[in-house]
Amino acid sequence: MAVEIRGPTDETLDAIASAFEAYQADHPDARITMYRQGPYSIRVRLIDPGFESMSRGARSRLVWSYLARLTEDQQADVNMFLLRTPEEIEDSIANDEFEDPIPPIHLEGVKAD
């Protein structure tokens, strides 16, 4: 399953998606969705059955290890991670943002990259 980018893409989104393609290769049952919410705001939802026995901290450390090759600016644009198992996602209020997102913020004259 490929990394899903919702909405328009850009250089930073493509770089982050590329990093997550490596995660996807190592965790083929994972589902990864991401989108740009604003000029400096990228949201990522990663649903992985492999998270079942992991703490939130361990999940975060694992995911960030795949983003280590990105620039600091690219990493800084990721401001929301939703790291859940398939069972946890059904009860996740934060998941509502991925199912029915608030419209992206567009600032006149501000470029994301």
87-100: pLDDT as tens digits: 987 777 776 676 76
Whether the CA torsion 55, 22, 18, 73 is positive or negative: it is positive
pLDDT of residue 47: 95
Q: Does residue 48 have a pLDDT over 70?
A: yes
Q: To the nearest whole number, what is the mean pLDDT of the chain? A: 87
> Residue 36's beta-bridge partner residues?
42
Cα Rg, the chain, nearest whole Å: 14
Beginning with the edge strand found earlier in the chain, give each strand of the sheet holding 4-6 in spatial order.
4-6, 31-38, 41-47, 78-84
Mean pLDDT of 56-85: 94
pLDDT tens-digit series, residues 10-46: 999 999 999 999 999 999 999 999 999 888 899 999 9
Q: Does residue 78 have a pLDDT over 60?
A: yes
**Burial (0-12, 13-18, 19+ Cβ within 10 Å), 35:** buried
